[in-house]
A and B are shown apart, each in its own frame.
Chain A
């Protein structure tokens, strides 16, 4: 068995995503989905309901009267907000562990993922791009391939870094050369196993190389730009640091000016800590919510 086959074989034992994420994703992906549909799904799960209500009542939102139900929360805060808090808290337990190889400490991958999700949301709002739900979810999961690749990376870090330095290629290209596969492709294979929408799979697979994707989309360009900006700002650095490239074409395709990018950054930094703490505070036992595929 070569190294690539050995690594991809690990995908089958990768923890499955909470089934609630797929359900929510399904609803948010429907063009005529409304607040009621999202609320219905969340209400079905008592732990998740408690999480979302806790978030809605957290100090930073500063409501004077308490939010008592999911429908009230979605009325006051919007379906999009409820969806994002629900998905963020559901995915937290899958992403919070340290990732060896990349030297990502406790909650570092989570922090990076959340910052890319929030940055994507800010960019979508500023650029008037729809499908925020899909893009937000893709952003949260874009680097999950690192969890699988990381443990194999440990023995090859020296080789990878030396070809990054000698050939001046980005980190994921070096991963591919040495390991036979990179973390983006691995993440896409996991998402395929979960039968995720194609848009999300593409966002994960091409997040470092949007110009090479067979199909270019706003979602992909946004996730790529948000990831690049998060790397610059240092939300959760790993061993790979800033050794990646940002596509000029992607920035041009979504008409992002540097003022818009800077605004998105400043917006993200102000919400990041609050959302991080809300999600971290939540009980994360997922017993009964996980499915095996």
Chain B
């Protein structure tokens, strides 16, 4: 069994049902898990920004920094490992914001909006989401069961 920790601007995949994937301190970033319950293949990304056009050179070095380069990369990897797109269970967490952050630089909200667009284009539905608020979240994902739990100051919940 291995515990994979996903840092900011990173993703991890696994096809070992004994593995666990974790990401810590999600603020306005988004943590997304994808899972095929039939083949028990899955992965998690922790991206920080919506679009790579602000810095295409950084997207080459770290595609998982951005939603538009990181999410397709993660999908590609899990499909290669044997997941099927039609069976993918997608869960999303993060996208927090500061207090009353409506107009200025609401990166959390934009991060979630762009993800919905990307998934919609790929005909993939979001099964569950725990996004927004002024809290930080830790996401734990079990490959054996597909169980995703979110830990925050509000307690621990299953997504």
How near does chain A come to B12, taking the closest CB pair, in angstroms?
17
Binding site for A on B (CB under 8 A): 8-9, 24-29, 48-49, 54-55, 58, 61-62, 65, 96-101, 103-105, 107-108, 134-136, 153
Q: How many residues on chain A are close to B (CB under 8 Å)?
A: 29
Main DSSP-derived SS at the A contact region: helix
Decide if B54 touches A266 in the complex (CB within 8 Å): yes
Nearest-Cβ distance from residue B142 to partner chain A, whole angstroms: 23
The answer to whether A266 touches B99, judged by C-beta atoms less than 8 angstroms apart, is no
Nearest 6 pairs of A and B residues by beta carbon:
A234-B27, A234-B25, A232-B28, A242-B134, A237-B136, A248-B104
Closest to B101 in A: A246
> Which residue in A242, A265, A270 is a CB contact (below 8 Å) of B98?
A242
Which single member of B27, B58, B65 contacts A232 (CB below 8 Å)?
Answer: B27
On whether A234 and B8 interact (CB within 8 A), knowing A242-B134, A243-B134, the answer reads yes
Q: Identify whether the interface residues of B are mostly helix, strand, loop, or mixed.
A: loop
B104: chain A residues at CB < 8 Å are 246, 248, 251
Cα(A269)–Cα(B105), bound, Å: 18
B141 to chain A minimum Cβ distance, whole angstroms, is 18
Of B49, B65, B99, B105, the contact of A242 (CB 8 Å cutoff): B99
Instruction: Let me know if B98 and A239 touch, CB within 8 A.
Output: no
Q: How far, in Å, is B152 (CB) from chain A's closest CB? A: 8
Q: Does A65 contact B (CB under 8 A)?
A: no
A263 & B105 in contact (Cβ 8 Å cutoff): no
Q: Is A69 an interface residue (CB 8 A)?
A: no
Q: Is the CB of B28 within 8 A of A233?
A: yes
Q: Are A241 and B136 in contact (CB under 8 A)?
A: yes
Report chain A residues within 8 Å CB of B99: 168, 170, 242-245
